[in-house]
Amino acid sequence: MNTNPGQREFLDRMTGHIIEAADIAEVSYDKDLIRGILDAYRDFYCGSAVTFVTNTKPGRERGLSVRYVEFDRPHDPYSIARAEGFIVPRGDPIDGFLDEIRAQYPLLGYGVDLEVSRGLTKIWAFLQTPRPVEEAFALPSLPDSIRNHQDYFFRHQLQYMSLFALDYRHQSANIYFMIREPGNATTGKIEKMIGELGLRIPDRQLLDHCKYAVTIYPTFNWQSPHAERLCMGMAAGGAENVPTYLHPLLEKYTREVPIVSPDRMFIYSITPGRKDHYIKIENDYTGTMIKMMMEGTQAVPT
């Protein structure tokens, strides 16, 4: 499939914007790698919801990912990744996990993450409707660490899952819970949610932000019985609603990062891990991702 002139122009512009964002975040990148993945998924990076996301990790630990999410045009991002050599199966449980998800659930669509220095890292599978989390326990390749947290999910009212994100580089899986009424949680509840996973509890200032999460997603892998981290994502809307005082990168990124939408909208996410925490900052490049997120919250059963 050839890239048409309109797509080529858009991808040229996006490539430049990605490099600008990487420079702002002080992240190394591989321009040829970026463009190769943009070209392979040209129909979706050109016409779907797109965001860039970086984080406040120190130095070389920091990355920048470029994500599309597409619900309207059926496609198989995994087959494209295999054909292009972006994913090479090695006999790990994650290799067949997406097929198991597709066999059990009707899907609304997919997303793909391009990491600017490493290539394709994640494929997202969005369920057509939120489903009870216990249904996932029937997936043969589901990490045991997810299955073993059933009581945790119910204790914290994380009962309906909306999507999976499969990280082929780190051999891990995220399970996403959309929050129908953000802002109803207490700081104490958020603190318990983090502490019961054995993760580092952030200070009160950060916990107060987490109360307004529109999505909560833990990360598990196949090697550990523990959750590796818990991410709580807040839809900031305009840049003025991003708590830039929490880290210098947030102020610089929200001020300078390129966005093609006339509205400069952002998502920020506080992410406690087993040893430390960091903050993600995501620019709604096309001005469409936050709307999709909020629609996802309203699909959760009451």
Complete DSSP assignment for 272-285: EBSS-EEEEEEEET
Q: With beta carbons less than 8 A apart as the criterion, state whether 74 and 89 touch.
A: no
* Residue type (1 letter), 210: C
In angstroms, the CA 139 to CA 103 distance is 9
3-state secondary structure of 1: coil
pLDDT of residue 1: 53
pLDDT of residue 263: 93
pLDDT per residue, tens digit, the chain (302 aa), is 577 889 999 999 999 999 999 999 999 999 999 999 999 999 999 999 999 999 999 989 999 999 999 999 999 999 999 999 999 999 999 999 999 999 999 999 999 999 999 999 999 999 999 999 999 999 999 999 999 999 999 999 999 999 999 999 999 999 999 999 999 999 999 999 999 999 999 999 999 999 999 999 999 999 999 999 999 999 999 999 999 999 999 999 999 999 999 999 999 999 999 999 999 999 999 999 999 999 999 999 98
Instruction: Report how far Cα 276 is from the mean position of its chain's Cα atoms.
Output: 19
In angstroms, the CA 285 to CA 261 distance is 6
Q: What is the pTM of this model?
A: 0.96
Helices (H), 156-288: 187-195, 204-210, 248-256
Please name the helix (run of DSSP H) or strand (run of DSSP E) that holds residue 40, with its range, or none: helix 31-40
Angle 175-204-225 (CA atoms, 0-180°, nearest 5)? 35
Tokens of 111: 């997303």
Q: Identify which of 289, 287, 281 has the alpha carbon closest to the alpha carbon of residue 262.
A: 287
Give 238's contacts (C-beta < 8 A, 6+ positions apart).
Answer: 263, 264, 265, 266
In angstroms, the CA 6 to CA 136 distance is 41
In angstroms, the CA 252 to CA 247 distance is 9
pLDDT of residue 3: 77
pLDDT of residue 93: 97
Dihedral angle computed from the Cα positions of residues 275, 156, 104 and 115, in that order, rounded to the nearest 10 degrees: -30
